[in-house]
Copies of this chain bind each other. A is one copy, B any other.
Amino acid sequence: MSETPASSVFKEAAALDAADGLAAKRAEFDLDDTVVYLDGNSLGAPPRGVAGRLADVVGREWGRLGIRSWEESGWWTAPERVGDRIGRLVGAAPGQVVVGDSTSVNVFKAVVAAIRMTRGAGEGEAPLRDEVLVDAATFPTDGYIARSAARMTGCRIRAVAAADMAREAGPRTAVALVNHVDYRTGRLHDLPGTTAALRAAGAHTVWDVCHSAGALPVRLDADGADFAVGCTYKYLNGGPGAPAFLYVRRALQDRFDSPLPGWNSHADPFAMDPAYAPAGGAVRGRVGTPEILSLLALDAALGVWDGVDLVAVRAKSLALTDFFLRCVEAYVPEGRVASVTPEAHAERGSQVSLRYGSGAGEVMAELIRRGVVGDHRRPDVLRFGFTPLYTRFADAERAARVLGEVIGAREGARR
C-alpha cells in the first residue's frame, strides 16, 4: 500500500507526540479530551490547580480571615508578586511588572506616561514631542486607547505598519505602540530592532505582548523594551478576563507619571493622605483595589510554568505550526485556503491563520460542531492557536483533517 500524504502525517503525529519533552504538561490542565482546543490564543485552558486555590481563597481566606487576608494572605502585595512571576516569563527582572486592570487601561497608562516623559518639568507644559505612532494592524483597542491618550495630552496619532516604525519615527515622535505578534495574522515583529531604532530616534516604545507572553521567549530587559502591556488569559491561562500586566523598565520608573494615580499606587496608601505621593517601583503602575479572585486564579494558573523553559516552548510551538501547515497541505483540497501567517520562523508567533474565500464564519462554526475549536476573525480568517503546554501534534493533525472534511463537504454540497 502506498503512503498517502494523509496517512503519513497521521503516523508522524504519533511519533512527534511520543518524542515531545513537554507532553507531560498536558496532564496539568483540565481539558476535554474529545475536543481539539486551538483557541488558547484567545482563552487558555484551565490549569488544574485553579479550582482548588479559588475554593481556598473563598472559603478560608475570604470566609475565615476576611479583611485580615489583605495582609495575612498576601492579597495586598499580590499585584507585584504575581507580576514578578510573569516577569520571569517575559524576561523581566523582579520589580518591573505589576498585574491589574485590563490591557486597555494599561495601554492608557503606558502611552500617557511615555508622552509625559518628553515634556519639561511643568505640569501645564506642552509635550516636546507630540506624535504617537500606532501599529496600523493593531488589535483595535490599543488604537482606540492610544487615540484617547493622544487627545488628552495634545498629541496627534499616526498609523504606521509595525515593520516601518523604525523608518517613520521622527523628531516629534514621542512613543510607538506596537503589537509584538499580530493578533490576526500571527506575524511576529522585531522587538529588539524596532525598540533600538525608536530609541535612536529619541522615542519610547510600548509593546503589546498579549500574543507572545507565554508563547515564545520574550526578553523585555535584554531587548531594551521601555514599556510593555499584556493579557494573561491567552497563553498564560489565567482565566476569562484575567487581569493584564504592565512592565515599566526600571530606569524609567522614577519618571513614570501615571494618568490613573489611584490610592493603590500611593507611597503610603493607608495614611489616607489627601495629597498624592507616588510609590516607587512597579507599585506605581497600580490604580484601585485589585480583583483578588481573578488575580489569585491567575497566580494559581502560573504554577504550570514552574520548571518550564521558554526555549523548549518555542521549539515545540514552531514544530506544531510547521506540522499543522503540512497537515493542511495534506488534507485540504489545493488552493482553498492560504496561510497569512509568515513561513519564516523568525516572523511567526504561535498561531496559524488561514484565509478562506467566503463563508469562513460558517466553516469555523462547523469545525466547532465537529470538536475542533479555533476562531473566526472577520471577514475571512480562520485562526488556530497552538499552546505548546497542552496542544498535541495529534490535535494539529485532527484539526487539519476535519478542516479538509468540512471544506470538502461544502464543495460537494455546492455541486
Q: Which residues of A contact B (CB under 8 A)?
A: 30-32, 37, 39, 42-43, 45-46, 50-51, 54-55, 58-59, 61-64, 66-70, 75, 101-105, 108, 112, 123, 136, 138-141, 143-145, 147-148, 151-153, 159, 184, 231, 233, 239-244, 258-264, 266, 270-274, 276, 287-295, 297, 368, 373, 375, 377-378
Q: Are B67 and A58 in contact (CB under 8 A)?
A: no
In the bound assembly, the distance between CA atoms of A344 and B205 in angstroms comes to 56
Q: Are A46 and B67 in contact (CB under 8 A)?
A: no
- Which B residues touch A151, using CB under 8 A? 123
In the bound assembly, the distance between CA atoms of A233 and B143 in angstroms comes to 32
In the bound assembly, the distance between CA atoms of A103 and B289 in angstroms comes to 8
Q: Are B152 and A271 in contact (CB under 8 A)?
A: no
Q: Which residue of chain B is the closest to A261 with respect to CB atoms? A: B144
Q: Are B144 and A266 in contact (CB under 8 A)?
A: yes
Q: Taking the nearest CB of chain B, how far is it from the CB of A208, in angstroms?
A: 12
Q: Are A293 and B240 in contact (CB under 8 A)?
A: yes
- For the complex formed by this chain, how many copies does it contain in all? 2
In the bound assembly, the distance between CA atoms of A378 and B103 in angstroms comes to 34
- Which B residues touch A259, using CB under 8 A? 108, 148, 152
In the bound assembly, the distance between CA atoms of A112 and B102 in angstroms comes to 19
27 cross-chain CB contacts under 8 A: A30-B63, A32-B63, A37-B66, A43-B66, A46-B59, A51-B59, A69-B240, A102-B287, A102-B288, A103-B289, A104-B264, A112-B152, A136-B274, A140-B276, A144-B261, A144-B276, A145-B260, A152-B153, A231-B289, A241-B289, A241-B292, A241-B293, A242-B291, A244-B288, A272-B377, A272-B378, A293-B294
- Which B residues touch A43, using CB under 8 A? 62, 66-67, 70
In the bound assembly, the distance between CA atoms of A300 and B378 in angstroms comes to 34
Per a CB cutoff under 8 Å, which of B184, B263, B270 touches A141? B263
Q: Taking the nearest CB of chain B, how far is it from the CB of A153, in angstroms?
A: 7
Q: Are A46 and B62 in contact (CB under 8 A)?
A: yes
- Which B residues touch A159, using CB under 8 A? 274
Additional pairs, 20, CB under 8 Å, beyond known A39-B67, A104-B263: A30-B63, A32-B63, A45-B63, A46-B62, A54-B55, A66-B373, A68-B368, A101-B102, A105-B260, A112-B152, A140-B273, A144-B262, A144-B263, A159-B274, A184-B272, A231-B289, A239-B292, A241-B291, A270-B378, A293-B294
